[in-house]
Structure 1
Amino acid sequence: MAGDEPIVAGMAGRYATALFELAREAGTLDTVIRDLARFEAMLADNPDLMRLVRSAVFSAEEQTRAITAVLTKAKIEGIAANFLRLVAANRRLFAVRDMLRAFREMVAAHKGEVAAVVTVAEPLAETHRAEIKAALDGVTGKNVQVDVKVDPAIIGGLVVKVGSRMVDGSLRTKLNAIKHAMKEVG
């Protein structure tokens, strides 16, 4: 079904597609995805690295040197390292997060996986997480990778987002619906 294919457009999509094709042909998809996940975690944890990625003030040479040092320290090598150095050399680091997101979507589609975000009011026991995964696998007919977020503001229940579809079974939403219904009656 055409609607299930990830849509990659623009510059980030072109870079992600090139990376995906190269990693697939080399048989290193799992290694590349793991290395890039480590790089993304470093981005999230290091404000200076994030500033380097976002800023247009640094020259291509400065960005390439800095990225090379980061990759060496993190022991990220091969296709992932070459890709990140190329992105820096081409002054495209500002879009690297979009490139990596598009790449992850292509890998997931290639593997027949679907990502789901499940928001709950409090942390789930592993048995409940497994039950939710099994239910989503059954509904979608695919291998669903479940990312659980905790948001106490939903009070109870859960909100499930798979692709562009969302089901909101939170207690907060139900209470708001009752509140609006009561206003209409009164």
Structure 2
Amino acid sequence: MDTNSDSSYTTTKPADLCIIDDALKDAKCNEVTRGFFRTVTEANRVRKIEAIIKGFNQIMTASRGEVLCMVTTATKPDQKVLDQIKTILGGFVRKDQKVVMDVKVNPGLIGGMVVEVGDRYCDMSVATKIRRLSESLNAAV
């Protein structure tokens, strides 16, 4: 039996499937969604559902020509700043692709921002600049 290196593989009880199916019916999920969860449950991969859904979302995003751009700022930017960032990020993707921004706030950055576009990463935060300057000064002493 192939367990996909999941050492905790056990057989799913029919009662488990009924509980999950009833919960999904109560949540008014369609048959495709219920079938998906039944399949995942039968394969005993419920603990991996978050990774499965994340992978599916990545595939769907790519198929729509969207490029996810993660933008982390020290404070919440207003809409004008977000529009400017989106315009600039549009220069890093192909013309047939659409920038989709996921904006997060991390006060630990102090100022500036961190941007991730695909496999590109740019840390323009004040915290990183301070850390690098401090490391540089400590190395010189």
Quick check: TM above 0.5?
yes
Q: Which has the higher helix share?
A: 1
Give deviations 1:79-122, integer Å, cap 9, x for gaps. 22221122112222121111111111111111111112111111
Distance 1:155 1:108, change over 3 A: same
Q: What is the distance in 1 between the residues matched to 2:30 and 2:37?
A: 10
* Contact residue 113 and residue 125 of structure 2 kept, 8 A: yes
The equivalent of 1:92 in structure 2 is 45
Structure with greater Cα Rg: 2
Higher mean displacement: 166-175 or 70-79: 70-79
* Contact residue 11 and residue 44 of structure 2 kept, 8 A: no
The equivalent of 1:182 in structure 2 is 137
Give the number of aligned pairs. 133
Give deviations 1:46-77, integer Å, cap 9, x for gaps. xxxxxxxxx97894424322322332232221
Consecutive unaligned residues in structure 1, runs of 5 or more: 1-10, 12-54
The equivalent of 2:112 in structure 1 is 157
Q: What is the distance in 1 between the residues matched to 2:76 and 2:15?
A: 43
* Contact residue 60 and residue 90 of structure 1 kept, 8 A: no
Aligned pair 1:127/2:127, yes or no? no
Distance 1:58 1:65, change over 3 A: farther
Higher mean displacement: 136-145 or 104-113: 136-145
Deviation at 1:176, TM superposition (A): 0.9
Aligned pair 1:112/2:59, yes or no? no
Q: What is the distance in 2 between the residues matched to 1:140 and 1:80?
A: 33
The residue type paired with residue 79 of structure 1 is V
* Contact residue 158 and residue 170 of structure 1 kept, 8 A: yes
What aligned pairs does 1:25-36 form with structure 2 within 5 A after superposition?
none
Identity level (%): 29
Distance 1:105 1:181, change over 3 A: same
The residue type paired with residue 116 of structure 1 is C
The residue type paired with residue 63 of structure 1 is D
Structure 1 length as normaliser, TM-score? 0.64
Query: Secondary structure of the equivalent of 2:116?
Result: strand
